[in-house]
Amino acid sequence: MSRRQIALRFALAALLLLLLAALARSLTALDPAAVATALGRVAPLPYLAAATSFAVALLVRSRRWRRLTAVEGGTRLGSRDALALILAASAINALLPGRAGDLYRIVESGRRGGISRSRSAGAAFIERVLDLAVLGALFLLTSALLLDRKSTRLNSSHVSESRMPSSA
């Protein structure tokens, strides 16, 4: 193992310990009875639905990453490697600015699957374009639904006002 890898692992271990210490400190300030009461009032179905959709999204993203980086008749990432890269890149993107997780994914795809950095960078770019396209489509769909609902509400209020007797 190189000195750089040792230093990186040490830094990650130190960060993990720091996060665990912060979590432990936060947990000591909580009242267990109040936490139990609050958790008793929580409806689990929305959280289960959110966790399920998150898991499905991760699996879809890892499958998409495998397909985008696949070289015809040659190198391909394994399913586990692709999922590990997506999870690690998401965690890094959550912690560091500037989409550093995408850089990590580009470099690690080459190390784990023998995929060139240019191919991985192109795949990351295409992935971002696809994400933007889906967000745009969701925005348009939501806008259309909200505008339709608002115009229906406006039309029904206009009709009810016209049926009201005049006070004159």
Cβ atoms < 10 Å from Cβ of 115: 22
Given a cut of 70, whether residue 152 has pLDDT beyond it is no
Percent of the chain with pLDDT over 90: 45
Given a cut of 70, whether residue 165 has pLDDT beyond it is no
Given a cut of 70, whether residue 162 has pLDDT beyond it is no
Q: What is the pLDDT of residue 110?
A: 87
**Burial classification of residue 116, based on how many CB atoms lie within 10 Å of its CB (0-12 exposed, 13-18 middle, 19 or more buried):** middle
Residues with Cβ within 8 Å of 164's Cβ and at least 6 positions away in sequence, in order, are none
Q: What is the pLDDT of residue 52?
A: 97
